[in-house]
Chains A and B, each alone.
Chain A
Amino acid sequence: MCGLLAQITVSHYLVVGAVLFVTGVLCMATKRNALGVLMGIELLLNGANVNFVAFGSKLLRADALGLDGQLIPLFVIVLAAAEAAVALAIALNFYNNHTTVDVDKAEELKG
């Protein structure tokens, strides 16, 4: 094990996860295109996935439980795929009504 890796702990991964999460939030907040927003969501989910993997890794923690930390992201990835499918249908519907996928055009309902 080279020295550099030995210094890397769970906390480093947590920072990566947090950065991904915050990036995702920022992406959702700033992107106007529906597909861009969807990408932001992927970032959010993957931020959480990094956490799961890091916590579950035997390499990083001696007392880690093992495989389940790596299995959970698989579930999440499958779910994200399912959601992307629904998202496409919704975006298409939005496009049919608004002739754009710019979510800023969703401004009729307020009060």
Chain B
Amino acid sequence: MTVMSVTVNLSSDEVAKIKHFTQLDSENEAVATAAREFLRVIQLRELKAATGKLDYQAVGEDMEALELRERHLNQ
């Protein structure tokens, strides 16, 4: 993995908030942590768009539980 140095322009208020929420004193570490956290959350949320688009087969007890619940709701 290549590590790149990037210069970003942020207001002092934005930097202060980033340091506050990351609980880090170093501007460099705080901004890097915030960027990584942003990527983590955004990529995790990509799961939402995958529903119904993947070849998923509930197995064993999971399938039985789903079928039981659906029968119950349809009654």
Bound pair (A, B): no
- Taking beta carbons and an 8 Å cutoff, which residues of B are in contact with A? none
